[in-house]
Amino acid sequence: MAATTAAARPARRRVLASRQNRRSLALGLLFCSPWIVSLLGLHLIPVALSFYYSFTDYNVLQPAKWVGFDNFVGLFQDQVFWQTVQNTLIYAVMSIPAGVFFALGLALLLNTKIRGLAIWRTIYFLPTVLPTVAVSIVWLWVFNPLYGPVNWFLDILGLPGPGWFADEHWGKVGLVLLSLWSVGQIMVIYLAGLQDVPQDLYDAAAVDGASVWQKTVSVTLPMMTPVIFFNLILALIGIFSYFDAPYVITDGLGNPAHSMLFYAMYLYRNAFSLFHMGIASAMAWLQFLVTLLVALVVFGTSGRWVYYGGGDTKK
């Protein structure tokens, strides 16, 4: 009898442990349910539906009609679509290098020991907390070709002021300058990276007689390549979703002559102005695939120029 009771105790413990595990799992799922519902309802399910709708003719008001690859073929034959791709690529080539060098340059300047350093850092970071819509409206006035302060200053210098956002050749330049004005967030990331550069490397370079420029090129930049790589990936991902500033400045039209009609703007127009949800979904998936491909290429080349401290070779 005692042996039977002793044998039943482990089984009873297993049953109790199983009940406790189920109860813990249920409580865990209950507390995680807001996140799970959000993940399913706002992310996974919409992604799956957009993939399906990319192969359909769907306008929200009527049931989706399967059309296969017609949406993708139609996009490749659409001249406006290729114009948006060209605009986006040109803007990327102009803004990404300019943003990297400008933000890194500001971080180098603000990493020096000068009076009022905290105030200067706050001033350069402040534009990033301002609403993009308000900033775009202000810059629309700043670059006004008739009474804007930029052309007024150029006129004082005896230089002809361009049309900026009213000129198809200068609109993207104005957008690049606008983006440079709000690089404070990237600058803070570079500042954090500069704090991790070992002082011993600078001391060794000083012993070898290196100048400030030589220290920057031979010590600072190699040690900052992981941070540059991180910001480059973020910029490449964000550039294909560039929307808010040009939409506000051009009232969503992308004029003049579609010179500021970017990929995300055309996607938005197809989805919410023309209600071509199938075409918009196809554009979204093309955007995802191109972004993924570009990111993989950059990751593939990172081993040649990104240096990670703590090792003798690049990883």
Query: The domain containing residue 17 runs over which residues?
Result: 2-53
Residue 60 backbone zone (phi > 0: left; psi -120 to 50: alpha; other: beta): left
Instruction: CATH number of the domain at 110, please.
Output: 1.10.3720.10
Specify the pLDDT at position 117: 80
Q: Are residues 49 and 80 in the same domain?
A: no
* 66-83 residue pLDDT tens: 999 999 999 999 999 999
Tell me, yes or no, whether 315 lies in a domain: no
* Cβ–Cβ under 8 Å, residues 231 and 189: yes
Tell me, yes or no, whether 246 lies in a domain: yes
Tell me, yes or no, whether 312 lies in a domain: no
Based on the structure, what is the number of domains in the chain?
2
* 124-141 residue pLDDT tens: 888 888 888 999 999 999
Q: Are residues 12 and 109 in the same domain?
A: no
Mean pLDDT over residues 171-195, rounded? 90
Q: Are residues 265 and 205 in the same domain?
A: yes
Tell me, yes or no, whether 155 lies in a domain: yes
Q: Are residues 234 and 290 in the same domain?
A: yes
Tell me, yes or no, whether 310 lies in a domain: no
Q: Enter the pTM of the model.
A: 0.84
Q: Quickly count: other Cβ atoms within 10 Å of residue 100's Cβ.
A: 17
pLDDT band for position 210 (cuts 50, 70, 90): confident
Specify the pLDDT at position 309: 66
Tell me, yes or no, whether 14 lies in a domain: yes
Distances (CA, A) of 164 to 160, 168, 170, 299: 12, 8, 5, 36
